Amino acid sequence: MARAHNFFPGPAVLPVPVLEATRDAVMDFNGIGVSIMEISHRDKAFEQVITEAQNDMLAIMGLSPDEYAVLFLGGGASMQFAMVPLNFLQKKAEYVNTGEWATKAIKEAKVIGEVVEVASSKDSKFSFIPKNIQFSPDADYVHITTNNTIYGTEWKTDPDTGNVPLVADMSSDILGIKRDFKKYSLIYAGAQKNLGPAGVTVVVIKKAWAEKAKQNLPNILKYKAHIDAGSLYNTPPVLPVFVVRQTLKWIIAQGGLDAIQKQNEKKAQIIYDVIDAHPDFYRGTVTVKEDRSLMNITFVLPTPELEDKFAAEAKARKMLGLKGHRTVGGMRASLYNACPIESVELLASFMEDFYKANK
């Protein structure tokens, strides 16, 4: 089957070997005669899947299993918007607002307690990442969103919050860029961009911090309850967990984060070079180049009509998912880990041709 060129922002492109392994496991998992979707999550065969996924996740991130736990939960990142403050917001939490998902996280946290929006780029349409932020030493935690899927910005440097726990929504760039993961007390990510399909959320949490969480919560909302149960407190989404495991093995086979980031930088630069070469036609929406995302490249054309034409002609060439988010319009090319460089080169060539034909 000839595959299209997938630039969807999520659910998004997955590695072909992962799709093939998943296809096989859906019919016959490990040769035992049943689908991965039909096996008990308490069976030794599935316990091996989830344990391998947890171990591989920590190994790729350079984290110790003695200090950190990996959980596979439901509810998407949106559940984590509430679950984080439910567990850890005692007096006040500080949030950096860099886009729509950060805004939603702030809104949910305010239902639980006091939230200080310590920095924001909202007044500039989220076109940059705030710098030189002064965090309070008495905050319960600091929350950031590492990649702005809609507006195309990305934290390239992990903030220094001193002794205050750092929490991050890494849904759209997790394992796509190297970070000092030891700086974070909790990381969460909807899997449907770089890790797997929709339906599972990965949480990486420092065990010692989980011990300090509030206790007057239902167990299903306690991180510690999930840690104590090995992420099997309730039935996990077995098929998405299997896909995540396969994707992690694919990342390791590529050479780990060093190789993944190098490839992602190369892919992003190909498209940014076209945008920079024709700034009057392709206008990037991020105003500070160092803040430009490796994952989601956002730009606008001179008119909405040209944008519609661009999307239609790209789709005719089997380049899918290039329309910008419905709230902002414009164009967006999502270049997640599994997006082949051949797709990126084809998009860049099309952009050059479209410019020449429509300038």
Supply angle C-alpha 55, 187, 203, rounded to 5: 55
Q: Is residue 169 among the annotated active site residues?
A: yes
Closest residue by Cα to residue 337 from 115, 172, 179: 172
From the list 169, 209, 224, 250, the catalytic residue is: 169
From the list 56, 101, 209, 224, the catalytic residue is: 101
Helix or strand or coil: residue 185? coil
From the list 140, 173, 193, 224, the catalytic residue is: 193
Which amino acid type is present at position 190?
A: G
Which amino acid type is present at position 189?
A: A
Q: Is residue 101 among the annotated active site residues?
A: yes
Q: How far apart are CA 153 and CA 296, in angstroms?
A: 8
- Asked if residues 32 and 358 have their Cβ atoms less than 8 Å apart, the reply is no
Q: Is residue 193 among the annotated active site residues?
A: yes
By residue count, the chain amounts to 359
DSSP E strand boundaries for 55-157: 68-73, 92-97, 114-120, 142-145, 147-148, 153-154
Alpha carbon of 290 to those of 53, 134, 158: distances in Å? 33, 20, 14
The set of catalytic residues is: 101, 169, 193
